[in-house]
Amino acid sequence: MAYKVFLVEDEIVAREGIRDKVNWGAAGFEFVGEAPDGEVALPLIENLQPDLLITDIKMPFMDGLQLSRIVRERMPWVKIVILSGHDEFNYAQSAVKLGVSEYLLKPITAVEIHQVLQRIATLLDQEQAEREKLKQLQSQLQDNVTLQRERLLFQLVVGGVSSTEAIEQCQQLGLNIIAPYYLVVLLQVKGDTAVPPLTYGDYQHIRALVADLTAAFDGTFLTQKSAEELLLIMTGDNPEQLQHDGAFLAQLIAQDVAEALPCTAVAGIGSPQQRLTEISQSFAEALAQVRDDTGDKNAGNGESEAASGRAPIEKLKLDQTAVEHFLKCGLFGEFDAFFTTHLLPLSQAAVQSDLVKHYLFVDVVVTAVQFITDLGGEAVQVIPEAQELEQLLAGLHTVEQMRAALGRIFAQAMTFRTGQAARESTRIVHQVKAFLDAHYANPDLLLNEVAARVNLSASHFSVMFSQEMGESFKDYLTRIRMERAKELLRTTNLKCAEIAYQSGYNDPHYFSHVFHKHIGLPPQQFRQQSY
């Protein structure tokens, strides 16, 4: 990749000579711009972001030292070469203080500049190599920290570390896992026997999917038992809520995994535990559930869905398609019925689970924000809750409070939708008016053809035009044609037949009939009026 160079020189002959005579490409550079002084050069430099600045020292408006000082402050990585016709110590001293790479005395040849470019290119190559090396080291360190975190989480799950050691290592690795209660969810992925076995890439895709889902929920930590088995350690303040959160998140993951790949994710959910060393007990319970496939056996033992944390997935999965459709086509008067059908089950679960509440409102807000953005609006202005979601959620504790909050979000989005539709109608009608004003003389101008120009059906366009203009398309077109005919009759000696043609009528007799009907006089009699 070529490095970018920018040249600043007030003498046009010198500037063009350097620009045209130096073989920039041979030295590993691309000449990207030039300017006659520092004031003109500065915005160009900030826009082009060159790797090397070559600048004369004595220039009007802003000299090379002033320019170099500003560039060094704003873009410290840029290498600077100063050209000077003055062999004075003060200039050279100032340049050294600024950290310029080279200070060259004029006149300077293309060969000398080429040599300087080679030295600068070598320096840039070294710095780039060092940056890449540092980036790799940082990545390796991050990978190492991630690996250590996962090892510690797995040791906690299998009971391989004491609470004192776990707390110390968590602090060292930045794992904020200390909490009143802990719960383990074990996810075992099983491929569909009717298709080829899952590949390593498939398992990586599933892990990434699970990581994305859990990243939104504070206090949930992901590690891996094997390629087919993922472990979640969940933390919380309330054991009942933590049990609900675990069941909800497990079902959400199972649903998304099944949609992404031909496989199923079987979940085992342990009971909440109060000590770090008891996490292994929660894991043992989760493992037993997975191995025994207790999803069916619990029902036989009389265990309820609520007790086992296994409410049906479809009851706790937001139907985003239904939300999008209601935002686009629904009426706010229908919101209560929509809430009861699509949002009530999640709202009821959200009363007992902050995780479900967070999931519900984030999905609704994200869908509404996308809807508003697609209509060309500023989402945060329409739905301020998008920026204050955590404060909003903290005050919601009952189903009715959630119904009211969700209702506000839908009302705001749908009010914006109505306003946008009205503005769009106005824009379309103004567009059509401009077209009619320019083409009214075309006798073949028909409503359905004009409607097609704005991608609307003739019936829809006709209603829209009448609502916006207060008159029908036909009446409007006739009116502007009559106004044109009146103008021609009063200001020209054209025959009535010619005026008819210029006003959009092929048949002069029909024109006369229409004119008489709308104006109250035949064309000739109208012309003969003196005042």
Which pLDDT score, from 0 to 100, does residue 389 have? 78
Cis peptide before 107 (omega within 30 of 0): yes
Other Cβ atoms less than 10 A from the Cβ of 409: the count is 22
Quick check: 393 pLDDT over 80? yes
Q: What is the mean pLDDT of residues 307-331?
A: 69
Which pLDDT score, from 0 to 100, does residue 54 have? 93
Joined tokens for residue 98: 């600024």
Q: Which of 208, 238, 236, 237 is nearest to 220 (CA)?
A: 236
Predicted TM-score (pTM) of the model is 0.43
Confidence band (pLDDT; 50, 70, 90) for 89? low
Q: What is the mean pLDDT of residues 433-451?
A: 89
Which pLDDT score, from 0 to 100, does residue 144 have? 65
Report the distance separating Cα 364 and Cα 341, nearest Å: 15
- pLDDT tens-digit profile of 266-307? 888 999 999 888 888 898 888 888 876 544 444 333 333 433
What is the DSSP track for 265-285? EEEEE---BSSGGGHHHHHHH
Confidence band (pLDDT; 50, 70, 90) for 5? very high
- pLDDT tens-digit profile of 206-241? 888 888 888 777 788 988 777 788 889 999 988 988
Tell me the pLDDT of the chain averaged across its residues. Answer: 83
Share above pLDDT 70 across residues of the chain, in percent, rounded to a whole number: 90
Q: Are 405 and 396 in contact (CB under 8 A)?
A: yes
Report the distance separating Cα 462 and Cα 469, nearest Å: 11
Least confident of 80-89, 378-387, 519-528: 80-89
- pLDDT tens-digit profile of 428-439? 888 888 888 888
Which pLDDT score, from 0 to 100, does residue 299 have? 37
Which pLDDT score, from 0 to 100, does residue 311 have? 39
Report the distance separating Cα 278 and Cα 182, nearest Å: 8
Give the β-pairing of 29-35 and 3-8: parallel
Quick check: 115 pLDDT over 70? yes
Confidence band (pLDDT; 50, 70, 90) for 515? very high
List the Cα angle 357/236/391 in 5-degree steps: 40
Q: What is the mean pLDDT of residues 165-175?
A: 83
Joined tokens for residue 331: 């009426």
Pick the residue with more confidence: 387 or 365? 365
The DSSP bridge partners found for residue 220 are 234
Quick check: 310 pLDDT over 50? no
Share above pLDDT 90 across residues of the chain, in percent, rounded to a whole number: 23
What are phi and psi for residue 224, nearest 5 degrees? -130, 135
Which pLDDT score, from 0 to 100, does residue 176 have? 83
Confidence band (pLDDT; 50, 70, 90) for 93? low
Report the distance separating Cα 118 and Cα 194, nearest Å: 62
